[in-house]
């Protein structure tokens, strides 16, 4: 038994050494450069022993290795530094690969990035079937690629097509799937894991030189045929890579370099020269890590990690456990909130609506989505039933009396929301929190009628709730710290990234979306075609264009919010005159199949624009504006307004603003959020561009005062 700070080993039966990695003082194992000497010393020692195999395992609870230390990576400044680090990594992994006896990686819990790459360097891999066991190579999400030989060893193990999917998406792979694709050799219960490792070592010992024979069973499956046709010959491979690049470009619009580099690396592997393959990987890794995209994505990763731990109130205030949740309104939002609450938290959910039809809609919405999860095997039928069993519905106040938290998601009408609040104060306890899911009405307006305003808070979810990761909490002066702590905690339990902002019309997200959407309106009014606007914005990296978004959210919803914003912030939020005609034309968007796009279209191509909308707007789509100008104008409006929010104290930090915009509005992640973008773009340059448009387009582009102040003092949003 030898003891060192991170790695320890013991010899068990049959002369097998078990190495346990346990980084002291951390919850999780990460790979760091300062471990390299330790690993070398360990293997020097093991080299001398008479062993039959080595098992590599983790000392952390439900966690194997979560990857390389990103802090370490973010400190690398030059290509040389990166190359030097990568070379050391390769050397250590190769040492494992070339070890005299089989090394088996025994995986239980999270195994990410470098953890997977280390396992790939081992001769065998076994993993537990515990729900916490997830394997992934998520480097691409940080704008990187697996730089520890992953792009070379993974295709060798699971094939080109599967490897490309895993590495270009960074998706999670569960035990069952890992076994199916050959990423691991055996899956078993946690308690039998050691037995599986030993068995694997023994098998590996017997077939020391495994011959590559043709597996006839592969002909029975589609993937087997695919692999035979595409991966075993050069024209097939060429086609595969061509398709992969096409798919990536369609998704990234050329904004993210990492996935293409990953494809390059895998292509290099197919050449069959190991040294060449590692060289391509190292070169591309070094290039990527210094790109602005990777920098922003890494910043974002840290911001999220930071935010997840953030206490928005004093730390000694403990959140109240939500056992019973009432959701008022069974529409799209209410149903989504009910679903995520039943799915992710322990709360029992009661949907209340005035109509049975809406209650039923709420239940159906949740049920349909849970059934989809069953179909995709993310849940068993029993698990889905159990979750569904937590949701009930009512049209009166029965069963609401014990609610710890009530979230109203009724129609955007102040009067109605007042009524909801009064009803809840009557029917529920004095501790019941009343949260409103308004997207525009100031919380202080709603709380005016409250007897217990300390229990009132805004919980602004985004549609569709089960997919959108952000929850924007809006607090008023009177909101108690207890209420905030409870809402933050419950939101996190729902799996949401929670930001807390101060109250004002439109809060943060709806408010910054206002001028951005308006700008799209101005562009449209000046004759820029709908599809051109949307395409320009999508190419910038937003998931959908502003006009498509308006159709999705509902034009009527838009016209309800704009007056609130316009009356609060004046001219820059006032939509162009032409837009006002729209609400009279009966267009509500996707929901009534009448919007900017043609919802009668049944073809397979992109939905065309409903040309009659131009007639309704009284414009002709003649303006072939430069897409870059379109994108810049919309984006600058959003960024400038975000900066105003920080200036006015609506936002408490630039970090919250960046995360809110990315997760709530789909702001392009590679730009890092409005504030990271401003820093990178340059404050001075930002002012210049805004002033440029102010001159040509009008006062709505007036730069925020904060920008001038910062220019003077030379500050940036992030130090």
- Applying CB under 8 A, which residues contact another protein? 348, 350, 356-357, 359-361, 363-364, 367-368, 385-386, 388-390, 392-395, 398-399, 401-402
Closest approach of Cβ 346 to another protein, in Å? 9
Q: How far apart are CA 141 and CA 278, in angstroms?
A: 21
Closest approach of Cβ 208 to another protein, in Å? 36
Q: How far apart are CA 56 and CA 38, in angstroms?
A: 15
Confirm if 92 and 41 have CB atoms less than 8 A apart: no
> In this complex, which beta carbon is closest to another protein, that of residue 264 or of residue 466?
466
Q: State the number of CA atoms in the 13 A half-sphere of 26 facing the CB.
A: 18
Q: How far apart are CA 472 and CA 502, in angstroms?
A: 10
Closest approach of Cβ 389 to another protein, in Å? 6
> In this complex, which beta carbon is closest to another protein, that of residue 389 or of residue 629?
389
> In this complex, which beta carbon is closest to another protein, that of residue 226 or of residue 394?
394
Six-digit token string for 439: 């997207």
Confirm if 657 and 646 have CB atoms less than 8 A apart: yes
Classify residue 672 as left (phi > 0), alpha (psi -120 to 50) or beta. Answer: left
C-alpha of 253 from chain center: 18
Which value, in Å, is the radius of gyration of the alpha carbons in the chain?
28
Q: How far apart are CA 574 and CA 568, in angstroms?
A: 10
> In this complex, which beta carbon is closest to another protein, that of residue 145 or of residue 333?
333
> In this complex, which beta carbon is closest to another protein, that of residue 299 or of residue 350?
350
Q: Is 478 in a helix, a strand, or coil? A: coil
Closest approach of Cβ 422 to another protein, in Å? 21
Q: How far apart are CA 237 and CA 225, in angstroms?
A: 14
Closest approach of Cβ 361 to another protein, in Å? 8
Confirm if 575 and 566 have CB atoms less than 8 A apart: yes
315 is catalytic: no
Closest approach of Cβ 350 to another protein, in Å? 6
> In this complex, which beta carbon is closest to another protein, that of residue 263 or of residue 326?
326
Which is the catalytic residue, given 117, 472, 588, 641?
Answer: 472
Q: Is 102 in a helix, a strand, or coil? A: coil
C-alpha of 532 from chain center: 27
- The number of residues in the chain equals 719
> In this complex, which beta carbon is closest to another protein, that of residue 301 or of residue 397?
397
E strands along 197-249, which residues?
Answer: none
> In this complex, which beta carbon is closest to another protein, that of residue 42 or of residue 325?
325
Confirm if 456 and 443 have CB atoms less than 8 A apart: yes
Closest approach of Cβ 356 to another protein, in Å? 4
Closest approach of Cβ 221 to another protein, in Å? 25
Confirm if 441 and 510 have CB atoms less than 8 A apart: no
> In this complex, which beta carbon is closest to another protein, that of residue 403 or of residue 441?
403
Q: How far apart are CA 269 and CA 69, in angstroms?
A: 26
Confirm if 304 and 497 have CB atoms less than 8 A apart: yes
Closest approach of Cβ 431 to another protein, in Å? 16
Q: How far apart are CA 390 and CA 323, in angstroms?
A: 11
Q: How far apart are CA 75 and CA 613, in angstroms?
A: 52
Q: How far apart are CA 417 and CA 427, in angstroms?
A: 15
Confirm if 457 and 435 have CB atoms less than 8 A apart: yes
Nearest C-alpha neighbor of 462 from the set 430, 498, 427: 498
Residues with active-site annotation: 472
């Amino acid at each position: 038994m030898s003891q060192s700070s991170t790695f320890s080993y013991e010899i068990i039966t049959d002369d097998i050494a078990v190495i346990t990695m346990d980084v002291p003082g951390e919850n999780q194992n990460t790979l760091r450069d300062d471990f390299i000497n330790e690993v070398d010393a360990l293997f020097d020692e093991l080299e001398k022993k008479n062993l039959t195999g080595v098992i590599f395992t983790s000392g952390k609870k439900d966690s194997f290795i979560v990857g390389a230390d990103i802090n370490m990576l973010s400190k690398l400044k030059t290509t040389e530094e990166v190359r030097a680090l990568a070379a050391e990594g390769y050397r250590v992994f190769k040492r494992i690969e070339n070890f005299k006896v089989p090394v088996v990686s025994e995986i239980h819990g999270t195994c990410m990035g470098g953890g997977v790459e280390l396992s790939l360097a081992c001769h065998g891999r076994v993993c537990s079937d515990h729900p916490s066991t997830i394997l992934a190579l998520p480097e691409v999400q940080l704008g990187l690629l697996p730089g520890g030989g992953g792009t070379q060893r993974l295709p060798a193990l699971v094939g080109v097509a599967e490897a490309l999917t895993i590495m270009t998406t960074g998706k999670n792979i569960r035990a069952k799937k890992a076994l199916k694709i050959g990423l691991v050799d055996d899956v078993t219960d946690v308690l039998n894991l050691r037995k599986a490792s030993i068995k694997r070592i023994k098998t590996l010992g017997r077939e020391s030189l495994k011959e590559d024979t043709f597996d006839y069973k592969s002909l029975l499956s589609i993937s087997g045929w695919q692999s035979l046709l595409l991966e075993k010959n050069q024209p097939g491979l060429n086609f595969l890579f061509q398709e992969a690049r096409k798919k990536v470009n369609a998704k990234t619009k050329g904004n993210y370099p990492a996935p293409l580099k990953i494809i390059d690396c895998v292509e290099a592997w197919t050449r069959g020269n190991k040294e060449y393959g590692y060289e391509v990987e190292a070169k591309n890794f070094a290039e990527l890590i210094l790109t602005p995209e990777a920098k922003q994505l890494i910043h974002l990763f840290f911001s999220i990690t930071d935010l997840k731990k953030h206490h928005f109130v004093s730390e000694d205030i403990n959140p109240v456990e939500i056992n019973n949740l009432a959701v008022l309104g069974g529409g799209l939002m209410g149903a989504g909130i009910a679903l995520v609450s039943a799915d992710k938290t322990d709360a029992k959910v009661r949907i209340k609506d005035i109509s049975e039809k809406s209650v039923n809609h709420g239940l159906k919405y949740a049920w349909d989505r849970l059934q989809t999860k069953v179909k995709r095997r993310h849940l068993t039928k029993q698990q889905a039933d159990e979750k569904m069993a937590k949701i009930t519905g009512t049209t009166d106040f029965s069963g609401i009396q014990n609610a710890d938290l009530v979230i109203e998601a009724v129609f955007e009408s102040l009067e109605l929301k007042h009524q909801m609040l009064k009803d809840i104060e009557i029917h529920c306890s004095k501790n019941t929190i009343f949260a409103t899911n308004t997207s525009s009405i100031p919380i202080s307006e709603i709380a005016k009628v409250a007897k217990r305003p300390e229990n009132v808070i805004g919980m602004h979810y985004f549609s569709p709730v089960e997919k959108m990761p952000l929850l924007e909490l809006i607090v008023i002066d009177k909101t108690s710290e207890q209420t905030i702590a409870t809402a933050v905690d419950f939101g996190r339990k729902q799996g949401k990234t929670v930001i807390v902002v101060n109250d004002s019309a439109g809060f943060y997200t709806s408010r910054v979306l206002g001028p951005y959407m308006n700008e799209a309106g101005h562009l449209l009014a000046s004759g820029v075609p709908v599809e051109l606007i949307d395409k320009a914005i999508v190419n910038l990296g937003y998931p959908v264009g502003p006009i498509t978004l308006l159709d999705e959210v509902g034009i009527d919803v838009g016209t309800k919010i704009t007056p609130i914003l316009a009356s609060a912030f004046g001219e820059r939020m006032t939509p162009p005159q032409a837009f006002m005609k729209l609400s009279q034309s009966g267009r509500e968007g996707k929901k009534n199949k009448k919007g900017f796009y043609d919802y009668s279209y049944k073809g397979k191509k992109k939905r065309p624009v409903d040309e009659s909308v131009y007639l309704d707007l009284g414009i002709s789509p003649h303006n072939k504006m430069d897409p870059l100008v379109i994108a810049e104008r919309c984006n600058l409006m959003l960024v400038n307004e975000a900066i105003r929010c920080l200036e006015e104290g609506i936002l408490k930090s630039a970090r919250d603003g960046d995360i809110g915009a990315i997760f709530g509005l789909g702001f392009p992640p590679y730009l890092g959020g409005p504030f990271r973008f401003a820093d990178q773009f340059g404050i001075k340059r930002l002012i210049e561009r805004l002033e440029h448009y102010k001159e040509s387009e009008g006062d709505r582009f007036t730069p925020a005062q904060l920008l001038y102040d910062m220019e003077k003092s030379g500050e940036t949003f992030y130090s």
